[in-house]
Structure 1
């Protein structure tokens, strides 16, 4: 972007402004895709070609950037999304997804739970989510759903090429399942049977 007359570059867009523009762009493209006619087809082709050229330019920037600068560029949320869009992100999807989970971890721990990266299996991210506090009552399911939704959104934003995010049982859930013994099994095994009346 050229300098202004005073030699100062204009301020960059704040993240909410970028998000608003991206949302509007999606609306406009969706409207174009549903409209008939050769003019619309030409407009969509122009957008596609422009996107390809910008992707090529971005790839060339990465080629010249070197390791440290490339890593710094990839850490920027908007630039990172563009690198993913053009399939030129320098980090593999698994590492990006793992980092997204690690970024959420402090907030989940603040709520008394935990989230940890388990791994990637056939393009499915696996995370272990635990909720805190024994005897949390009827609100636990909702809390777990909220955390799972937030983790899913963060992972797929960082690595949209992944197919899904799957939550695996946390330690507390496994222990609770192992500790549960049905009452009828206690009555069958070694429990004293009621005496028959004589």
Structure 2
């Protein structure tokens, strides 16, 4: 389960607590649990050897937890690169607008034809600052075949 899915389930549970005072109690419970888990993660992350931490950062659930608690050790650029490295098609970043959260990408090779949704899914847990993706379309390549053979002369 991703951090995004977990967040949605928690929000649904809080929404179900509509009785007087129940919603505030539910929100307080979530805050207390978040603080508790955050303190534990804050002690755990620095204790991990760099190779182990690097492997853990590839896991979307771990990356999501560390971002949620503001403990992710990588900057936005590194997190975007990590997310894009796992795509089946190579893309390069051509720009990021922090005001709008728009990441602009260009395909660097032909491949599976990944779309914005595939890229957004890859970025969801690693770089939630990215809220929109603009993916330059690959140019259509002209197919060049062999020259047609001349028709046999009829006598």
TM-score (norm 2): 0.68
2:105 maps to which residue?
127
Larger proportion of helix: 1
* Structure 1 spans left out of the alignment, 5+ residues: 1-17, 109-113, 134-142, 177-198
Deviation per CA, 1:150-173: give whole Å up to 9, x if none. Answer: 112212332112232222354x26
* Structure 2 spans left out of the alignment, 5+ residues: 143-155
TM-score (norm 1): 0.56
CA distance in 2, matches of 1:87, 1:25: 16
CA distance in 1, matches of 2:32, 2:76: 26
Distance 1:23 1:67, change over 3 A: closer
Structure label with greater radius of gyration: 1
CA distance in 2, matches of 1:40, 1:116: 44
Q: Is it true that 1:160 corresponds to 2:128 in the alignment?
A: yes
CA distance in 1, matches of 2:120, 2:77: 14
Q: Which moved more, 1:54-63 or 1:149-158?
A: 149-158
Deviation at 1:59, TM superposition (A): 1.1
| Residues 116, 135 of structure 2: 8 Å contact kept | yes
Point out 4+ residue stretches in structure 1 off by more than 6 angstroms: none
**RCO higher in 1 or 2 (8 Å CA, sep ≥ 6)?**
2
State the Cα RMSD in Å: 3.3
- The secondary structure found in structure 2 opposite 1:117 is strand
